[in-house]
Amino acid sequence: MELQSHRTETVKEGRERQREGEGEDGVTAGGGGGGGKKAGMKRRHEEEEDEDETSPTKKQVPDHSVKVASHYNSLQEVGLAARSRSRIFFMRNFNNWLKSVLIGEILEQVRGAGPQQISVLDLGCGKGGDLLKWRRGGINHLVCADIAAVSVEQCQSRYEDMKRKSHANEKIFSAQFITADCSKEVLSEKLDHPELMFDICSCQFVYHYSFESEQKADMMLRNACERLKPGGYFIGTTPDAFELIKRLEASDSLTFGNEVFKVSFQSKGSYPLFGCQYHFSLEDVVDVPEFLVYFPLFEHMAKRYNMRLVMKQRFSEFSEEKVKKEHHRSLMMKMMALEPFPCEDGGRQATDSRGEYCHAKDHSSRAGVRLPLGTLSRSEWEATSIYLVFVFQKMC
């Protein structure tokens, strides 16, 4: 099936068609020209693509990957003390807990299929925020790749520190670190072991950077999936395009957000399938251009790599379901993934802003509720509830 034709379709149109009863494959049907708004969009894309490279009128297209890499490279590593003072301390812990649960459950699935050496690709590994999760999961080999060279260096030194400080009887996984734009370069050509196959590719808060163009999104997907063993998993977290658009359309400007995060679009009403850029800023952590990932198209593209979607859930649904299990709940406490309300020992909540804990206050006044509750401030919840979790599996 040809994805070229999808360029004429917008996210909104795709959603409308889906409502009209077309299934996941419906994304292929919308292309092919047509009139009105669609034709306008198609023309814009084609003009951009067909223009002569040497044309003096050709617009300089900024390379967003460079911006993204330099943003993440410039982020400072902060110590535990500074992190615990962050306005989004609990939200970051919550996101980390959610990733831990996802990684833990996928490792269980992989192990359930029989004893084996487990190899993992961490695509967009950043500074190695998930290294401890892989250690806890007892994997055998890890390949970490990221576009930001400074982050990859920090990830590697964190890994070496971890190995140095580990007990003599603990066997820490072997690892390779690669700096590469995974939406442009073929990772398999850079592997130390050219025959290596992965059980899991984990792509946490990364895939949306590649939706700048079809070529980039496809290369990222190829890197995620081409070296997966049959039955292997591609897991990740990414913003939910429908939720972003819903909030944008409810806003009376091109921006929405609160005291911890802000999302700004350049226009609204029509959303191209690729290259639909928005600017995302989150406290002191993120301040970069990102791109909408229209999930039905992502799912469709993944089929090229023999991948089947086995789970897609918003963070809210995923966390509500997982917290019912005792071991996930106790990990949640251990990781301080929720903020105690009311705060204990005369301490202060993460923010004094009005209305940030109304939901917790209401809930705590109900009969039989044991205090303190675990919660997130309204602003942190609004920020984290943008995201979704996905799991694809390679068909045998």
Q: Does residue 146 belong to the site contacting ligand SAM (CB under 6 A)?
A: yes
> Which residues are known binding-site members for S-adenosyl-L-methionine?
99, 124, 146, 181, 204, 209
Q: Does residue 101 belong to the site contacting ligand SAM (CB under 6 A)?
A: no
CB of 95 to ligand SAM, least distance (A): 8
Beta strand pairing status for 339-341 and 373-375?
Answer: antiparallel
d(Cα 176, Cα 191) in Å, to the nearest integer?
8
Q: Which of 10, 151, 238, 319 binds ligand SAM (CB under 6 A)?
A: 151
Q: Does residue 209 belong to the site contacting ligand SAM (CB under 6 A)?
A: yes
x-or-dash pattern for ligand SAM, window 177-196, by CB under 6 A?
----xxx-------------
> Which residues are known binding-site members for mRNA?
95-96
Q: Residue 75 half-sphere exposure, CB side, CA atoms within 13 Å?
A: 23
Note whether 257 and 269 are within 8 A (CB). Answer: no
Residue whose structure tokens are 């969009």: 41
Comparing CB distances to ligand SAM, the nearer of 198 and 209 is 209
Q: What value does the CA radius of gyration of the chain take, rounded to a whole number of Å?
A: 22
CB of 127 to ligand SAM, least distance (A): 7
Q: Does residue 204 belong to the site contacting ligand SAM (CB under 6 A)?
A: yes
Comparing CB distances to ligand SAM, the nearer of 201 and 376 is 201
φ/ψ of residue 299, rounded to 5: -60, -40
Beta strand pairing status for 277-282 and 261-265?
Answer: antiparallel
Q: Does residue 206 belong to the site contacting ligand SAM (CB under 6 A)?
A: yes
Contacts of 6-9 with CB under 8 Å at 24 or more apart are 6/30, 6/31, 6/214, 6/273, 6/297, 7/31, 7/41, 7/42, 7/45, 7/214, 7/272, 7/273, 7/274, 8/32, 8/33, 8/34, 8/38, 8/39, 8/41, 8/42, 8/45, 9/38, 9/273
Comparing CB distances to ligand SAM, the nearer of 210 and 384 is 210
> Which of 146-154, 192-200, 290-298, 377-385 is the region at the interface with ligand SAM (rule: CB under 6 A)?
146-154
| C-alpha dist (Å) from residue 309 to 30, 286, 313 | 22, 28, 11
> Which of 40-48, 123-131, 339-347, 381-389 is the region at the interface with ligand SAM (rule: CB under 6 A)?
123-131
x-or-dash pattern for ligand SAM, window 39-78, by CB under 6 A?
--------------------------x--xx--x------
Q: Which residues bind ligand SAM (CB under 6 A)?
A: 65, 68-69, 72, 124-126, 129, 146-148, 151, 181-183, 204-206, 209-210
